[in-house]
Amino acid sequence: MTTALQQKPIDILQTVFGYKSFRGQQAEIIEHVINGRDALILMPTGGGKSLCYQIPALCMDGLVVVVSPLIALMQDQVDALKQLGIKASVLNSTLTNGEASYIEELMLSGEIDIVYVSPERLNTERFIALLGQCKLALFAIDEAHCVSQWGHDFRPEYTEFAKLKDIFPDVPRIALTATADELTRQDIIKHLRLENGRVFSSSFDRPNIRYRVMPKDNEKKQLLNFIEAEHKGDSGIVYCISRNKVMVIAEWLKNQGYNALPYHAGLDNRLRKHNQDYFIKNDGVIMVATIAFGMGIDKPDVRFVAHMDLPKSVEAYYQETDRAGRDGLPSNAWMVYGAEDIVKLRGFIYKSEADDAHKMIEHQKLDSLLGYAETMKCRRQVLLEYFGEKIAQCNNCDTCLESVTGFDGTVAVQKVLSCIYRTGQRFGATHIIDVLTGKENEKIKGFNHNELSTFGVGQEYNKSQWKSVFRQIIASGLVNVDLEAYGALKLTPNSNKILRGQEKIFLRKETIKEKPAKTKKVESSKRSVFTNPAAEELFQKLRALRLSLAKEQNVPPYVIFHDSSLIDMIVAMPKNLSEMGKISGVGQSKLERYGKAFLEVIKEQC
């Protein structure tokens, strides 16, 4: 049944949000929702998922309840909505009893359009009873992949949301996520009882992100070279596999002159919250973190995401890299990894208490990620194929932009496999490489490995090149690492055909890049967007004004204007409020609040 609209969606989009037209399937999704129908919405970060429930909240008569797993995301979105003049609030554990009671009164009286709640609160009998007294328009379940046990961020409280269909049968429900493979999608539909809902699946492509993967070779220097060459003064996230590594990398970057902060679950709660708030509300900050950081971080101007270690799956990698460039401006997803990463992740799976079926799925997910890391194809093609999407070559990843060549590695791999076998499958990669390259150290002499037929047969490659070969054959499953035997390499059934010459194997030819030329030191608050010095100067002045206004209100700068809006102002150079109102992202409320101040800065520059 069609709902009577208070305002037209396109009018709200233009006057409230300041955008000229809908993107992709947004208009179709919004029409579907305001007609009271359920849906699963798969849309990449930066694709405008939130508009799919925020605009219906202003069109429909009743309260929209948004379920969000992280307090930071709730508050950020409410701050942004208030800047637009939208009546929104949040109910979470940070509120006092008095503050929570006041919000509940507003819900009962119909004086707010959107309320953000945590999964735990939605599952309480008291809150369900409260909702029963409210006029409800819609349930929006964000980060819906959390319902799937096969997903990368399973949260059992999400599985209880199925009861909403029975308790509120006439209230439509939508589930939203930016990352879900086919198995996770089916789980979302099943556990949230969306069998009769429609699935809207947008392209998962993020064309503004450049993907790069390279082998570890002094990883701290690799990270520093990357940041100095391309991201001086930018906000970024650096992911590490362990808490200890987070602290080491954060301190090291700080010593290099960068504004770097650590974040992991072991830090004091107050320090963790302080670091997150500082990252969100300031420019040019680098957050070094474990995967405990990130979900729900809506900062649009994160210019790079760097992985110092392999994540667990393609979904996890996609979600983590998805935090870069949410404003649509050019950004980087950069990663280094080595054979030790594969060993650690396989070890986590091996030692987990999951059942065999779950472990098998985890191994398959890791294998898919290894295939992405080692591919000679376009990285974006491999990434999107995992989510069931096919595209042409992107020309914006390392394998497209730099020549990646393969070579027949059969002989080299046969030497490795033979050496592993002849040394009794009791040693790790370092020892095997020493045997292959003919190193006569005490350990090799002690085991008489200098007398083996494989001793010194691999001198055509140096240690770094052999490490590349080992990484690739471990990734391909030709060799296993025995975690109970101190990392000893073991042959697998797949090894036999290579050893017997029945199959060939092709490997990536690694090229170790020279350190880039030193770049001139710049202040951490500066970054170059425009080639024209006058335009760049104006951009920095507009950012300074934005930051000043944000600090006055204790909100992140991007809830006032995104960088993309500031860039549009410089391109259009509006002369009055009417022209300023035509800038993307400048709705009526923001025009009234900030239009004159930004116009004055533009006029001064002129």
Confidence of residue 512 (pLDDT cuts 50, 70, 90): very low
CATH architecture entry for 406-508: Orthogonal Bundle (1.10)
Every domain range in the chain assigned CATH 3.40.50.300: 9-201, 209-401
Task: Identify each DSSP E strand in 76-153 by its residue range.
Answer: 88-91, 114-117, 136-141
Q: Which residue has the higher pLDDT, 283 or 580?
A: 580
Q: Which residues are registered as beta bridge partners of 501? A: none
CATH code of domain 9-201: 3.40.50.300
Confidence of residue 45 (pLDDT cuts 50, 70, 90): confident
Confidence of residue 178 (pLDDT cuts 50, 70, 90): confident
Q: Which fold has domain 533-605?
A: DNA polymerase; domain 1 (1.10.150)
Say whether pLDDT at 519 is over 50: no
Average pLDDT over every residue of 332-356:
89
What pLDDT digit, counting tens, does each position of 109-160 carry? 999 999 999 999 999 999 999 999 999 999 999 989 889 876 667 788 899 9
Across the chain, mean pLDDT equals: 89
| 479-482 and 488-491 strand pairing | antiparallel
Confidence of residue 44 (pLDDT cuts 50, 70, 90): confident
Every domain range in the chain assigned CATH 1.10.150.80: 533-605
What pLDDT digit, counting tens, does each position of 181-207 carry? 788 889 999 999 999 999 999 888 999
CATH architecture entry for 209-401: 3-Layer(aba) Sandwich (3.40)
d(CA 230, CA 457): 41
End-to-end CA distance of the chain: 54
Average pLDDT over every residue of 10-34:
94
Q: Which residues are registered as beta bridge partners of 261? A: 287
Confidence of residue 5 (pLDDT cuts 50, 70, 90): low
Every domain range in the chain assigned CATH 1.10.10.10: 406-508
Average pLDDT over every residue of 543-561:
93
Over pLDDT 70: what percentage of the chain? 95
Give me the DSSP letters along 459-487: TTS-HHHHHHHHHHHHHTTSEEEEGGGTT
Over pLDDT 90: what percentage of the chain? 66
Q: Which residues are registered as beta bridge partners of 302? A: 235
